[in-house]
């Protein structure tokens, strides 16, 4: 599958466009497409506090997986690179778990996610 732009990019202008699309994809997946249900239920701590028998604390895993699948799909659509999509899935999960467990703040979480996008564009020429 090819991405929306030539990837890896051969020039700075294309790299900047890819970075923009990766950031926009992240914003789309993390805000309107995440929704309140996933935002709350991907947190084990939140589910423990909620105490709802229909949503046991172990439910966070399913919610986190589906949330991270959306992010991996966004990276795949933009770059056409399944390896980066898989990396995004894992890194997004790790970063979100850190936030859900109270180790990072919202701003730190978002900065880490955007740093991943910068890294993807930076390392792309070396992926083969």
Tokens of 120: 């993807």
Reply yes or no on whether the pLDDT at 41 is more than 80.
Answer: no
Reply yes or no on whether the pLDDT at 38 is more than 90.
Answer: no
* Residue 120 Cα distances to 48, 58, 80, angstroms: 35, 31, 12
More confident residue, 63 or 57: 63
Reply yes or no on whether the pLDDT at 54 is more than 70.
Answer: no
Question: How many C-beta neighbours within 10 Å does residue 114 have?
Answer: 15
Place of tokens 């959306």: 70
Reply yes or no on whether the pLDDT at 11 is more than 80.
Answer: yes
Reply yes or no on whether the pLDDT at 48 is more than 80.
Answer: no
What's residue 60's pLDDT? 77
More confident residue, 15 or 72: 72
Would you kindly state where each structural domain of the chain is located, as residue ranges?
Answer: 22-126
Rounded Cα distance between 88 and 74, Å, is 9
Check if the beta carbon of residue 93 is closer than 8 Å to that of residue 68: yes
Over 52-99, what HEC string results? Answer: CCCCCHHHHHHHHHHHHHHHHHHHHHHHCCHHHHHHHHHHHHHHHHHH
What's residue 39's pLDDT? 76
Per-residue pLDDT tens over the stretch 102-119: 999 999 999 999 999 999
Indicate yes or no: pTM above 0.85. yes
């Amino acid at each position: 599958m090819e991405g929306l732009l030539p990837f890896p990019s051969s020039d700075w202008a294309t790299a900047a466009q890819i970075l923009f699309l990766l950031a926009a994809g992240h914003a789309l997946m993390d805000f309107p497409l995440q929704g309140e249900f996933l935002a709350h239920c991907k947190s084990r701590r939140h589910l423990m506090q909620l105490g709802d028998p229909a949503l046991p604390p172990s439910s966070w895993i399913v919610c986190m997986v589906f949330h991270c699948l959306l992010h991996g799909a966004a990276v795949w659509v933009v770059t056409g690179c399944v390896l980066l999509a898989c990396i995004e899935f894992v890194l997004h999960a790790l970063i979100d778990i850190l936030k859900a467990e109270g180790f990072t703040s919202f701003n730190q979480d978002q900065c880490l996610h955007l740093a991943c996008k910068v890294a993807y564009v930076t390392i792309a020429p070396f992926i083969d």
